[in-house]
Amino acid sequence: MKTNATSDAAGTLSTRDVLADSSAQGAGSSNLLDLMQRWLPKLVLAPTVMMTLLFIYGYVIWTGVLSLTKSRFLPNYNFVGFAQYEKLLDNDRWSVASLNILIFGGLFILICLFIGVVMAILLDQKIRAEGSIRTVFLYPMALSFIVTGTAWKWILNPGLGLEKLVHDFGYESFQFDWLVNPDMAIYTLVIAAVWQSSGFVMALFLAGLRGVDSSIVKAAQLDGASMPMIYRRIILPHLRPVFFSAFIILSHIAIKSFDLVMALTGGGPGYATDLPATFMYVTTFSRGQIGLGSASAMMMLGVVLAILIPYLYSELRGKNNV
Amino acid sequence: MSDSIYTNARNVRAGRMALYAVLLLAVLFYLLPLVVMLLTSLKSMADIRAGNLISWPEEFLLDAWVKAWSSACTGVSCEGVGSFFWNSFQITIPAVLISTFLGALNGYVLTKWKFRGSDIFFGLMLFGCFIPFQVVILPMAQTLGWLGLANTTTGLVFVHIVYGMAFTTLFFRNFYVSVPSELVSAAKIDGAGFFTIFWRIILPLSTPIFVVCIIWQFTQVWNDFLFGVVFSGGDTQPITVALNNLVNSSTGVKEYNVDMAAAMIAALPTLVVYVLAGKYFVRGLTAGAVKG
């Protein structure tokens, strides 16, 4: 009662006072309601906060800790420092996987960007049936990588697939054995992944093209600039942010690539098409080397962060400038 | 715009023809795998050996589909992918509904009831969209074991909710940012509370973002393989894992028609969603991917 009187006397009732009041005496119903209204949003968000902190950040730390231990089939906590990382870097299978992610990721990103830009520009020429064409380009994104892998595994089948098709067209000497050729198998992954994701990149660029101010283009035309010149000098530079985000998305897809490899090549022949993601899975769950597997997972995280942090940084800086 | 590239009419027409030819080739390239899958799934094995990828079936047979659904071998069991197809629904539906609803509530709090630290939390959460899941699966496997949820569909639902929430929250947060805050403050003055405002004002506005978010989550969860293969076992596997087992099991003679039929079965639900609601699918893809 006393606090109530003083604040009334003061004439102003700050929220802090209201809070103090209601917690002190559980007073009037309106105060209680206010208190609830203040805590409700936090309460609603609380489960998500807990889950994020525990299941994302907590688990990353946990995996980090495991990567410093001798864990094999079961996690244990005999710390060995960075021995697992040393072992990882000496591991032949890991170096194949790292090289593969560079080849696969590099080609996949470059080809997707190229096809995406070209197709978007072509589609932006007042094409009849543009909607249906776009639909066809994009449907692979709705499929699981397992389905994609299964389909391409059959198409690239060395006996009955593409090879037979070309033979039936009359080119009897045609050979296509990439799927079972250790030197070429990695490129089958590129083909399937490009098929799946390039339509999506096209959609991103098409949206970007539609956002370019047409009056600038018209002005350049009036000045006598040719269309290829306009694309090179005006439109493509405008699409820089799209290139940027497409790059981020594609590299993210590449680093996470796991399903496609499992379905298309199973990492084979031998381990010729292993990627870090499949290495991590096989090492941890099939070969019972949890410590080593955790170290490889942490390396993957490291690469993602190395790509992501500069991106987020430049995004945030960009927003602050605007 | 393209008309001015060329100076005379004939060049224009030749250019247009070339343009359409390139686009047609591209369309064929994107359609090829689907056509091949469908044709192969309708052939007999003899027909497959005699013809080629795109040869028309001698006779349209549904045998491979029947076998894929009910008697093909997926690892140890030979009961087809039918039961795994239903597993996927059992996993997907609750996971999508719960994560979407939580995402809506989170997005509402993060835009209309901000408090100190809520923006920082959103940033922390956003970061969670990007991590490679390899870095969390091992601790999660152990946690599910402790909770007695290892190898259960409930466990998989739980995992999909936990790791889907960052995306759903992102969707709703970005949508609610553009809902005028005056609506909410006016309602607050009228004495409406947190949930009243959510039910009466926010939810009725949210239909488009619900569609986008549900489609996105449905595709993500249905197509997931990593969580499925790590956290499920035996008869609780989702269809993607069963399909992979079917295709990559090395026992017996390879039946490509059955493989393709099973792949079609696994692909159908998301394809149907894409055909029916492609517009929303693309919107989710661009919003989810660019931001997330």
Residues B148 and B256 in one domain: yes
Which residue range forms the structural domain that includes residue B207?
Answer: 82-291
Convert the pLDDT of each residue in A267-316 to its tens digit: 878 888 999 999 999 999 888 889 999 999 999 999 888 888 887 777 76
Convert the pLDDT of each residue in B122-168 to its tens digit: 888 887 778 899 999 999 999 999 999 888 999 999 999 999 998 89
Find residues 236-255 of chain B whose CB sits inside 8 Å of chain A: 240, 243-244, 247-248
Residues B27 and B143 in one domain: no
Convert the pLDDT of each residue in A30-49 to its tens digit: 677 777 777 888 888 999 99
**How many CB atoms sit inside 10 A of residue A280's CB?**
28
Residues B46 and B117 in one domain: no
B187 contact A CB<8A = no
* Cβ pair A133, B27 in contact under 8 A: yes
Q: Residue B279 is part of a domain; what is its CATH number?
A: 1.10.3720.10
Mean of pLDDT over chain B = 87
Q: Is residue B74 part of a domain?
A: no
Convert the pLDDT of each residue in A159-193 to its tens digit: 888 888 888 888 877 888 888 888 899 999 999 99
Q: Residue A103: which of A187, A170, A174 has the closest Cα?
A: A187
Convert the pLDDT of each residue in A52-91 to its tens digit: 999 999 999 999 999 998 888 888 888 888 888 988 898 8
Residues B34 and B89 in one domain: no
How many beta-carbon pairs below 8 A join chains A and B? 257
**Residues from chain A contacting residue B135 (CB–CB below 8 Å):** 59-60, 63, 297-298, 300-301
CB contact under 8 A, B2 and A227: yes
Q: How far apart are CA A64 and CA A62, in angstroms?
A: 5
Residues B226 and B179 in one domain: yes
| Domains in chain B, number | 2
Q: How far apart are CA A57 and CA B124, in angstroms?
A: 9
**Residues from chain B contacting residue A298 (CB–CB below 8 Å):** 135
Residue B7 confidence class, pLDDT cut points 50, 70, 90: low
Domain boundary pick from B61, B92, B111: B61
Q: Is residue B71 part of a domain?
A: no
* Cβ pair A258, A282 in contact under 8 A: no
Structure confidence at residue A22 (pLDDT) = 41
Q: Is residue B70 part of a domain?
A: no
CATH class of the domain comprising A83-321: mainly alpha
Q: Residue A143: which of A197, A101, A105 has the closest Cα?
A: A197
A77 contact B CB<8A = no
Q: Which string of DSSP letters, residue by residue, matches B133-186?
A: THHHHHHHHHHHHHTT-TTSHHHHHHHHHHHHHHHHHHHHHHHHTTS-HHHHHH
CB contact under 8 A, B285 and A44: no
In this predicted structure, the answer to whether residue B268 has a pLDDT above a threshold of 60 is yes
Residues B209 and B239 in one domain: yes
The alpha-carbon gap from B63 to the nearest alpha carbon of chain A, in Å, equals 19
CB contact under 8 A, B55 and A168: yes
Find residues 84-113 of chain A whose CB sits inside 8 Å of chain B: none
**B49, B113, B248: residue with CB nearest A41:** B113
Q: Is residue B212 part of a domain?
A: yes
Residue of B nearest to A198 (CA): B30
CB contact under 8 A, B30 and A136: yes
In this predicted structure, the answer to whether residue A207 has a pLDDT above a threshold of 80 is yes
Mean of pLDDT over chain A = 83
Which tokens belong to B108? 């509402």
Residues B142 and B241 in one domain: yes
CB contact under 8 A, B134 and A280: yes
Q: How far apart are CA A258 and CA B244, in angstroms?
A: 12
Count Cβ atoms within 10 A of the Cβ of residue A103 and give its class: 0-12 exposed, 13-18 middle, 19 or more buried: middle
Give kind and range of the element (H or E) at residue B125.
Answer: helix B118-130
Partners of A79 in the β-ladder:
A69
CATH 1.10.3720.10 domain extents, chain A: 83-321
The alpha-carbon gap from A41 to the nearest alpha carbon of chain B, in Å, equals 6
Q: Is the peptide bond before B139 cis (omega within 30 degrees of 0)?
A: no
Residues B38 and B104 in one domain: no
In this predicted structure, the answer to whether residue B205 has a pLDDT above a threshold of 50 is yes
Residues B176 and B40 in one domain: no
CB contact under 8 A, A200 and B285: yes
The Cα diameter of chain B in Å comes to: 77
Convert the pLDDT of each residue in B219-236 to its tens digit: 999 999 999 999 988 888
Mutate to test the interface with A, among B138, B157, B162, B199 (most CBs of A within 10 A): B138
Residues B22 and B137 in one domain: no
CB contact under 8 A, B260 and A203: no
Instruction: State the angle between helix axes of B256-291 and B239-248 in degrees (0 to 180), rounded to the nearest 10.
Output: 140
**B27, B110, B125: residue with CB nearest A136:** B27
Say what the ipTM of the complex is.
0.89
Q: Is residue B68 part of a domain?
A: no
Residue B56: DSSP 8-state? P
Mutate to test the interface with B, among A29, A43, A48, A290 (most CBs of B within 10 A): A48
* Cβ pair B44, B67 in contact under 8 A: no
Residues B177 and B216 in one domain: yes
Q: How far apart are CA B249 and CA A130, in angstroms?
A: 41
What's the pTM? 0.86
**B31, B109, B219: residue with CB nearest A142:** B219
* Cβ pair A245, B290 in contact under 8 A: yes
Residues B43 and B132 in one domain: no
